[in-house]
Structure 1
Amino acid sequence: MEEDTQLCCLTGVNVKDTGFGYTLSLIGGKYKMTILYWLAGKKVLRHNELKRAIGGISFKTLSVMLKELEGDGLVLRREYPQVPPKVEYSLTERGLSLIPVLDAMCYWGEKNRPDQPVKA
């Protein structure tokens, strides 16, 4: 673990030039982690299903976020040639590899939420 900490917690280096910075560039922003979270739980979702699950996100913003996640190789967009068009989104193997990071954030949040009793 100490080696990993030394790799990621570098001083005197621009954060964007680190693995941490690269990861943030992929999942940073208001909705990207939420989109990944929902896709990890449901495996395959359509655009409107994601929009309903997230709530408060506009159609355009969701479309932009999905295109960025697709461009980064984290989300797979599958379009079916039918009328009306059917498009489904799922995580790629690369996207699935981020789920342990999101899980770690979830565990940390559950352990450190202010409404949780403090454990000695």
Structure 2
Amino acid sequence: MKREDDFQKRREHLKNLTDEQLYERFWALTEQIVTPMVDLAHNNTSSSIERSVLLRMGFSSIESSKIVQEGMKAKLLGKGMGNVVLKYAELKGINYLDAGRELGEGKGWAEVSGLFRGDK
């Protein structure tokens, strides 16, 4: 069975667009496709996902669990624990592994919570 060539019919609504208009249309459609996936990833996480991220950053399983537990207490899990650790390290001017260990010990959460609230 041969497929009917309907290219001309399908491109009818695009044939009068300039290259710039086609470029803009491409990125607008791409954004429509990607936005729900980004929203899903941004708004949905779990402690296991966050532990997995921390493991890949070089923390041990025990360290990762402690950081995630403390992050849940601080209600910052949705910010991403890797992100929280990196922001805290930047704030304190220390290595991110040291920053994560401090957070895992329960230290620094008031500061990092303020950072995510927009406190100076």
TM-score, length basis structure 1? 0.26
> Which protein is richer in helix relative to its size?
2
> Which protein is richer in strand relative to its size?
1
TM-score, length basis structure 2? 0.26
Higher RCO (C-alpha under 8 Å, 6+ residues apart)? 1
- Computing the radius of gyration over CA atoms, which structure comes out larger, 1 or 2? 2
